[in-house]
């Protein structure tokens, strides 16, 4: 299937890999080193990437080191309180400027020859100022760290190497922003991280986790069967949900981003409460606020969301999904072993580390205005369910390496990934006219849209 050498991808990098008509992707796409290098250039060096949250760096000088593709960046708070994203590569001889994951520094000094930089990336100078060890050929203003364009949305820090001519973050999110607002901009002070992120290296191609993040609901029934076995997923008896809990809902897609909205009735079954029909939005929210929201926070939610958003939030709130290319998110109810119900708000980033590895980063969140006790409960629920050793994510991280191993076989890589279970666009009458809407049993629609966006960026 593949011809030799890097030139094989220059004309149409994915012509031999993605069959748009039959909705198939070659397994070889999970392994090829040349394809991987192009992904880094065309997707990770062009698109908007989520790097972290501004609550990780609350004070002037705070910084964290993150990845954009395989480029390390310093995400730092400058003296004027603005957030900056700078390449963690010394313009002198390419040493990493920051060699710790996080910290606080008014100036970042390279440990090799001592060139120093402000949190906004600008160059301060080299040691022994009078000897001008940075030379006289270039002015100091040209010796700062390379800067990415940065934007903070709902506390989340995004950046792109696309420069000022690239699309805005709002354009990048498209219609999905309407739904993301329900997760990230629903309260007055928004979310905060509950501790530093967990990090784990998984021996798999980044796309195995990337495409699953685009609403693969179906795997929950089998791969996560332990959730059903231990009663953490329950469908209302006597209904279509009984054998397939949480499979019926509304999937959403725009620009490769996606979210799954699960009817509140399904969640009520989980709480062993009698499902109550014909309730107003107000009554639904009061009866069982969506994950992460307490009754005390409801007035804020009602103030911050539009009536259209509030209706979706009350009827079928978004609970899982992702952001193209490399964010996975869960805003879920997560039961504890004793049967009580917890809430977990979690974002994962999927950072490529060569074609056969990626770093799986887990951020835990809570609403800033939730009580300390509620946040403690959320931290525990998130760690037990979705953390590095969480009962849910252990299943997924065990699966992705198998797919990647398949792609390394001479015969295995001739197989295809298939996205042929099609629900088709179909919008309930009371659903907002935002994004592509797939109401019904969760099928392959959103995952295929993820690959369509991948194809679009790889061929741009
Ligand atoms: S490599 Fe950084 S000062 Fe020389
Ligand atoms: Fe999963």
Same domain for 112 and 226, yes or no, is: no
Residue 5 is assigned to a structural domain of this protein: no
Same domain for 161 and 254, yes or no, is: no
Same domain for 229 and 81, yes or no, is: no
Least distant ligand from the CA of 143: 1
Q: How far apart are CA 11 and CA 25, in angstroms?
A: 18
Q: Can you tell me the mean pLDDT for 325-343?
A: 89
pLDDT at 2: 44
Residue 172 is assigned to a structural domain of this protein: no
pLDDT at 3: 42
Environment of ion ligand 2 (residues, CB < 5 A):
396
CATH of the domain at 135: 2.102.10.10
Q: Which segments of 410-456 are extended strands (E)?
A: 416-418, 436-441
Same domain for 187 and 93, yes or no, is: no
Same domain for 370 and 425, yes or no, is: yes
Task: Report CA(68)–ligand 1 centroid distance (Å).
Answer: 22
Residue 152 is assigned to a structural domain of this protein: yes
For the stretch 179-208, pLDDT in tens is 999 999 999 999 999 999 999 999 999 999
Same domain for 106 and 213, yes or no, is: no
Same domain for 370 and 396, yes or no, is: yes
Q: Which 3 state secondary structure label does DSSP give 187?
A: coil
For residue 375, the enclosing domain spans 177-459
Last-in-domain residue among 137, 165, 193 = 165
Classify residue 335 by its DSSP letter.
E
The total of structural domains in the chain comes to 2
Q: How far apart are CA 326 and CA 257, in angstroms?
A: 10
pLDDT at 337: 78
For the stretch 6-46, pLDDT in tens is 555 556 778 889 999 999 999 999 999 999 999 999 999 99
Same domain for 78 and 133, yes or no, is: yes
Q: In what order do the strands lie in the sheet with 108-109?
A: 108-109, 116-117, 123-125
Task: Report CA(72)–ligand 1 centroid distance (Å).
Answer: 16
In short, whether 115's Cβ falls inside 6 Å of ligand 1 is yes
Same domain for 158 and 181, yes or no, is: no
Whole-number average pLDDT of the chain: 93
pLDDT of 230 strictly over 80: no
Q: Are 37 and 112 in contact (CB under 8 A)?
A: no
Predicted confidence band of residue 246 (pLDDT cuts 50, 70, 90): confident
The closest-lying atom of ligand 1 relative to the alpha carbon of residue 97 is: 2
pLDDT at 273: 58
Same domain for 326 and 386, yes or no, is: yes
Q: Which segments of 325-380 are extended strands (E)?
A: 327-335, 341-352, 358-367
In short, whether 95's Cβ falls inside 6 Å of ligand 1 is yes
Last-in-domain residue among 128, 145, 165 = 165
CATH of the domain at 447: 3.90.380.10
**Closest by Cα among 139, 136, 134, 159 to 149:** 159
Same domain for 257 and 396, yes or no, is: yes
Same domain for 302 and 451, yes or no, is: yes
Q: Can you tell me the mean pLDDT for 343-348?
A: 96
Residue 40 is assigned to a structural domain of this protein: no
Among protein residues, the one with the nearest Cα to ligand 1's atom 3 is 113
pLDDT of 371 strictly over 80: yes
pLDDT at 8: 55
pLDDT of 300 strictly over 70: yes
Last-in-domain residue among 142, 165, 188 = 165
pLDDT of 268 strictly over 70: no
Annotate 99-161 with DSSP letters as a single string.
Answer: -SSEEE-SSEE-TTT--EE-TTS-EEE-SSGGG-TT-SSS-GGGSSPPEEEEEEETTEEEEES
Residue 32 is assigned to a structural domain of this protein: no
The closest-lying atom of ligand 1 relative to the alpha carbon of residue 90 is: 2
Task: Report CA(201)–ligand 1 centroid distance (Å).
Answer: 29
In short, whether 92's Cβ falls inside 6 Å of ligand 1 is yes
Residue 157 is assigned to a structural domain of this protein: yes
Among protein residues, the one with the nearest Cα to ligand 1's atom 4 is 113
Residue 22 is assigned to a structural domain of this protein: no
pLDDT at 338: 80
For the stretch 54-102, pLDDT in tens is 999 999 999 999 999 999 999 999 999 999 999 999 999 999 999 999 9
Predicted confidence band of residue 376 (pLDDT cuts 50, 70, 90): very high
Q: Can you tell me the mean pLDDT for 273-301?
A: 86
Q: Model-level pTM?
A: 0.95
Residue 43 is assigned to a structural domain of this protein: no
Q: What percentage of the chain reaches a pLDDT higher than 90? A: 81
């Amino acid at each position: 299937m593949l011809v030799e050498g890097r030139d094989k991808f220059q004309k149409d990098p994915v012509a031999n890999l993605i069959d748009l008509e039959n909705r198939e992707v070659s397994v070889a796409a999970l392994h090829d080193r040349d394809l991987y290098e192009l992904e880094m250039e065309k997707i990770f060096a062009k698109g908007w990437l989520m790097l972290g949250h501004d609550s990780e760096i609350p004070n002037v000088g705070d910084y964290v080191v993150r990845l954009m593709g395989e480029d390390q960046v310093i995400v730092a708070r400058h003296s004027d309180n603005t957030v900056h994203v700078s390449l963690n590569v010394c313009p002198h001889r390419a040493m990493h400027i920051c060699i710790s994951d996080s910290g606080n520094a008014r100036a970042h000094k390279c440990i090799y020859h001592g060139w120093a930089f402000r949190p906004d990336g600008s160059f301060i100078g080299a040691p022994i100022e009078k000897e001008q060890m940075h030379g006289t050929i270039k002015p100091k203003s040209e010796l700062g760290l390379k800067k990415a364009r940065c934007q903070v949305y709902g506390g989340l820090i995004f950046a792109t190497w696309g420069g000022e001519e690239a699309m805005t973050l709002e354009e990048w999110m498209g219609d999905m922003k309407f739904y993301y607002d329900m997760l990230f901009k629903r309260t007055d002070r928004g979310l905060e991280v509950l501790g530093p992120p967990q990090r784990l290296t998984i021996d798999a191609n980044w796309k195995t986790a990337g495409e699953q993040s685009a609403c693969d609901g179906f795997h929950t029934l089998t791969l996560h069967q332990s959730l059903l076995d231990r009663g953490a997923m329950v469908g209302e008896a006597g209904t279509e949900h009984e054998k397939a809990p949480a499979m019926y809902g509304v999937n959403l897609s725009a620009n490769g981003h996606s979210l799954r909205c699960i009817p509140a009735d399904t969640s009520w079954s989980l709480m062993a409460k009698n499902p109550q029909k014909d309730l107003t939005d107000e009554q639904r929210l009061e009866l069982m606020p969506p994950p992460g929201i307490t009754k005390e926070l409801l007035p804020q939610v009602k103030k911050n969301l539009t009536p259209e958003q509030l209706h979706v939030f009350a009827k079928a709130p978004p609970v899982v999904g992702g952001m193209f290319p490399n964010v996975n998110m869960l805003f879920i109810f997560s039961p504890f072993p004793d049967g009580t119900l917890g809430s977990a708000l979690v974002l994962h980033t999927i950072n490529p580390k060569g074609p056969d590895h990626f770093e799986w980063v887990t951020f835990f969140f809570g609403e800033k205005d939730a009580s300390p006790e509620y946040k403690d409960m959320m931290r525990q629920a998130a760690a037990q369910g979705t953390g590095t050793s969480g009962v849910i994510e252990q299943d997924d991280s065990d699966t992705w390496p198998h797919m990647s191993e398949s792609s390394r076989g001479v015969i295995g890589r001739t197989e295809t990934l298939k996205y042929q279970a099609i629900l088709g666009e179909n919008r309930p009458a009371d659903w907002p006219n935002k994004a592509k809407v797939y109401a019904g049993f969760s099928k392959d629609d959103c995952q295929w849209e993820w690959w369509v966006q991948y194809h679009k960026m790889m061929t741009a």
